[in-house]
Structure 1
Amino acid sequence: MNNEERQQHEAHQHEDRRTTAGRWQAELKWDPSIKADDVSVKVKDGVVTLGGHLATFADKWHAGCAAQRVSGVVSLVSKIKVELVKGEGRDDTEVARNAEIALYWMAGLPKGSVKVKVDNSMMSLSGDVVWAYQIDAANAAVSRLQGVTDVSNNLVLTPRSCNATVQSDIAAALKRCATAGAKPIDVAVTGSQATLTGQVSSAPERELARRAAWSAAGVNKVADNITIAA
């Protein structure tokens, strides 16, 4: 690559970063649940890094969701810090109790399967569950609670045996979720691990593929080798 080609390549990358950042900022301002003025965004090679300060962990969660919705985003790094507004903090015991209540009433979670610990407004979840969606459900149940500055989800999937058709089941699920004209994603299953390989056009499509694999009975690990087209 000569100097002229290198300069053109760098200019193209700069334009891509600016375009992706602009789309993300527009999405951020469009979402009424996010205070866009308090969040900064940097983009490099499709990786979006969020910074700044927000008043609740729920705000931080919403900002991350907004970033994932934008085309051109390959992965997300959130460095947003949660700084509770004066008077909005809660005692750790109260936060833990509210979390236990929220988890109890969360549909799809076995009662008592999730243990809660809160230290200086930072919450950690531990325990064993059977399905990947239950990990997401537990996270959703506590992420919007008042007085929480961070959630560390340490739930693990209990080992399950895969049936003989799990690979074809995942492939069929991926085909059902695929958009028109999408390239097929290859599936390989070894033991209880499913490996996905292929290319999709956006981060939401990759997440759909991951969820399809996690939904298969017997899968407790998904190796995601899917790339997002530039």
Structure 2
Amino acid sequence: MSTATMARSDTDIQRDVLAELAWDARVRASEVGVSVTGGIVTLTGWVDSYAKKWAAERIAHRVRGNRAVANDIEVRLPGTAERTDTDIATAASRALEWDAFVPVDRIQVTAGNGWLTLRGEVERGYQKRAAERALRRLTGVRGVTNLITVTPAGDLSEEDLKRDIRVALARRIDVDADLIEIDVAGATVVLSGEVRSWLAREEAERVAWAAPGVGEVELRLRLTT
């Protein structure tokens, strides 16, 4: 019987998430509480930066058997990390300018109570992601809301988009494209099926985001061996 068909218990998933948090040096396991119900992982507790909150979420996602992750971790900035919204907005603007993958002339950033909001329009999903990624590690940031829309330069049908993603997946050495199903609805791509490793899952996600006109990628991929 394959791993994909063997349901993991909530206790097993919780144990592995806690172990993974302890293994990853970016987050202290003592800062994060983990509960699992029906395969849904909920993270609680508090950390001193938004970067740590994001890292904890990514760590939980890579544990086999989880269906979804709810990130309820609170960001409590220490006094030394407090910044005015003006300082945060200035730092955010500079971070976007320094990222070669971000079309900074098409993006606006607003800071309010330490929370950054991105707006604008780009042609590729990876540009939307790059803009958010550039801001996560800034000191003083409590969170990021990404409202950037993705509008491709040319017309591309859903069938063409599905075909192009499948061809791109087939070129990847770490991804078994035959195990992945691709559905496209407007600007949203849904990847379902199976992958053989966490790295393959991440690679499949990157491929989908790189396609023109993709505004959202939903992963329903199960890990198998």
Check whether TM > 0.5: yes
Separation (CA, whole Å) in 2 of partners of 1:60 and 1:34: 8
Q: Note closer, same or farther for the CA distance 1:182–1:172 as it changes in structure 2 (3 Å cut).
A: closer
Structure 1 vs Structure 2: percent identity of aligned residues? 35
Q: Is the 8 A contact 2:85 2:113 kept in 1?
A: yes
1:82-132 deviations in Å (ceiling 9; x for gaps): 011123200100000000000000111113222111111111111111111
1:129 equivalent to 2:122? Answer yes
Q: Is the 8 A contact 1:55 1:85 kept in 2?
A: yes
Residue 161 of structure 1 is aligned with which of 148, 151, 155?
A: 155
Counterpart code for 2:220: I
Q: Note closer, same or farther for the CA distance 1:153–1:189 as it changes in structure 2 (3 Å cut).
A: closer
Q: Is the 8 A contact 1:72 1:202 kept in 2?
A: no
Separation (CA, whole Å) in 2 of partners of 1:173 and 1:197: 16
1:146 equivalent to 2:142? Answer no
1:115 equivalent to 2:112? Answer no
CA RMSD of aligned residues (A): 2.8
Separation (CA, whole Å) in 1 of partners of 2:198 and 2:69: 10
For the pair shown, which has the larger CA radius of gyration, 1 or 2? 1
Structure 1, unmatched stretches of 5+, are 1-11
Once structures 1 and 2 are overlaid, which stretch shifts more, 44-53 or 143-152? 44-53
Cα drift, residue 196 of structure 1 = 4.0
Separation (CA, whole Å) in 2 of partners of 1:115 and 1:181: 38
Q: Note closer, same or farther for the CA distance 1:48–1:178 as it changes in structure 2 (3 Å cut).
A: farther
Corresponding residue of 1:70: 63
Q: Note closer, same or farther for the CA distance 1:84–1:199 as it changes in structure 2 (3 Å cut).
A: same
Q: Note closer, same or farther for the CA distance 1:181–1:128 as it changes in structure 2 (3 Å cut).
A: closer
What is the correspondence of 1:1-230 to structure 2 with a 5 Å cutoff? Answer: 16-159=9-152, 160-162=154-156, 165-177=160-172, 179=174, 183-188=178-183, 194-200=189-195, 205-220=200-215, 222=217, 224=218, 226-228=220-222
How many residues end up aligned between the 2 structures?
A: 217
1:27-51 deviations in Å (ceiling 9; x for gaps): 1011111121011011122221111
Structure 2, unmatched stretches of 5+, are 1-5
